[in-house]
Structure 1
Amino acid sequence: MKTPNKNPTAIKIGNRIKQARKMAGFETAAQLNEHLTDWSASRLGNYEAGISTPSPDDIERIAQLTDASPCWITFGIGPIRSSMRDIQAIRHQNLVYLAEQAKQLSKTKALVTALGISKVKLDEHLDNPFMNITDRIARRCEKFLNKPTGWMDEQHVESDPVCAAFPDDMREVMGIYSNLDPEERQRFLRIARAFTGTPTD
């Protein structure tokens, strides 16, 4: 059977869906699927695997069930959780990025040595968003990347090509929008439509 070609954008979105699912306490896609009774058994799994790209409506469904930001799932920008900015979640996202970069450069062993943990422990961190990434590990990650102190505690669009493909001003707008509550978002959209002369529904 021919393996489906995976779209890099779909893979990035799928990774974020998987992280959101695990952070919400759903250990497996099947557990989350129990709340998506009108979806096929393979639909969510295909999204997480990067085999297919979810529609905006499907992303909204997943976001609601996992308390994640739809903007973050789609673009990798703004707060990860819709209800709070979670430092541990951001550290996990950055650690995943760091591990991917190290793997591409055949430097996984060097990364493990720099962090002072075993490869098994690193894999546990990558697979479990709830696993505490200590300040010591965060600072060692920053040193390995030659980044300033605190880099691990902030989101970085350069680590996500989906978001990085957008112009700076558009990323700024997406970031602002993602931080608004539902009522504020509607007000934001009304102002934008009035400014551009776009007809309202």
Structure 2
Amino acid sequence: MQSTTIPGRIKLARKMAGLPTQASLLVCIPGWKPSRLGNYEAGISTPGADDMLLIAEATGVSACWLMFGQGPIRPSERDLQAVRHQNLAQALDGIEADEERLAETVKRLRISRKRLREHLDNPFLPISDELARRLERLLGAKPGWLDEQHVERDPLFLSFPEEMRELMMIYSELPASQRPVLMATVRALRDSLTTA
């Protein structure tokens, strides 16, 4: 699973919501045709902001994370296992096409190929602290790297000005009940500047 892309994050969000198929997610989004969600998950088309919000609400994830891969995965908590899964999938992307790399990875992680495939495919399969630290050593990353979100290479998120990225992060990290307060404040500021 490529959860560093919008299609990958949509699939991951669906699975984390306990919706194993696209059809099960479509039940939560009335009026959508199967091809619409299928095209989004396949990367054939990119959902607009309104559709991303509908998917985020139906799956219980942060719209900012769904769109940009930034911020907490769930608005009210930092979902450690989902973050670990996302980083594992990103770090080991394409590993099965490189037999030598795959053999060295499973040897150093001290797990079977089957178990590695299960970890890559199943965002619900917990990644233990011990396995997380072994992967970090394998990658030459600092301890705790697997537990943090990394979007340094997300071109869509980075294309926005720094202030906008910061505002999106603030919005994403707020509980849903506090977001209207932020939006009201921003609108009041905008209105005061346009009337001045």
Same fold (TM over 0.5): yes
Q: CA offset at residue 103 of structure 1?
A: 6.2
Instruction: Give the counterpart letter for 1:71 in structure 2.
Output: C
- The question of 1:117 aligning with 2:115 is answered no
Deviations 1:45-97 (A, max 9, x none): 11111111111111111111111111100010111012321100110110011
* Match in the other structure for 2:156: 162
**Structure 1 unaligned blocks of 5 or more:** 1-10
- 1:94-133 equivalences under 5 Å are 94-100=87-93, 102=95, 107-133=101-127
Deviations 1:181-200 (A, max 9, x none): 33432332333344455669
Distance 1:89 1:55 in 2: 24
Q: CA RMSD in A?
A: 2.5
Normalized against structure 1, the TM-score is what? Answer: 0.83
Q: Is the 8 Å Cα contact of residues 22 and 34 (structure 2) preserved in structure 1?
A: no
Distance 2:85 2:158 in 1: 19
Greater RCO (CA < 8 Å, at least 6 residues apart): 2
Identity %: 49
Residues 159 and 142 of structure 1: is their aligned pair in 2 closer, same or farther, counting only changes over 3 Å? Answer: farther
* Match in the other structure for 1:79: 72
Residues 112 and 193 of structure 1: is their aligned pair in 2 closer, same or farther, counting only changes over 3 Å? Answer: same
Q: Is the 8 Å Cα contact of residues 12 and 162 (structure 1) preserved in structure 2?
A: no
**Structure 2 unaligned blocks of 5 or more:** none
Structure 1 runs, 4 residues or longer, greater than 6 Å off: 103-106
What is the DSSP-based 3-state SS (H/G/I as helix, E as strand, rest coil) of the residue aligned with 2:31?
coil
Q: CA offset at residue 128 of structure 1?
A: 0.8
- 1:184-195 equivalences under 5 Å are 184-195=178-189
Deviations 1:120-159 (A, max 9, x none): 2112111111001011110011112211111111111225
Residues 117 and 150 of structure 1: is their aligned pair in 2 closer, same or farther, counting only changes over 3 Å? Answer: same
Instruction: Give the counterpart letter for 2:48 in structure 1.
Output: S
Instruction: Give the counterpart letter for 2:18 in structure 1.
Output: G
- The question of 1:31 aligning with 2:24 is answered yes
Q: Is the 8 Å Cα contact of residues 59 and 73 (structure 1) preserved in structure 2?
A: yes
Distance 2:160 2:107 in 1: 35
What is the DSSP-based 3-state SS (H/G/I as helix, E as strand, rest coil) of the residue aligned with 1:177?
helix
Instruction: Give the counterpart letter for 2:172 in structure 1.
Output: S
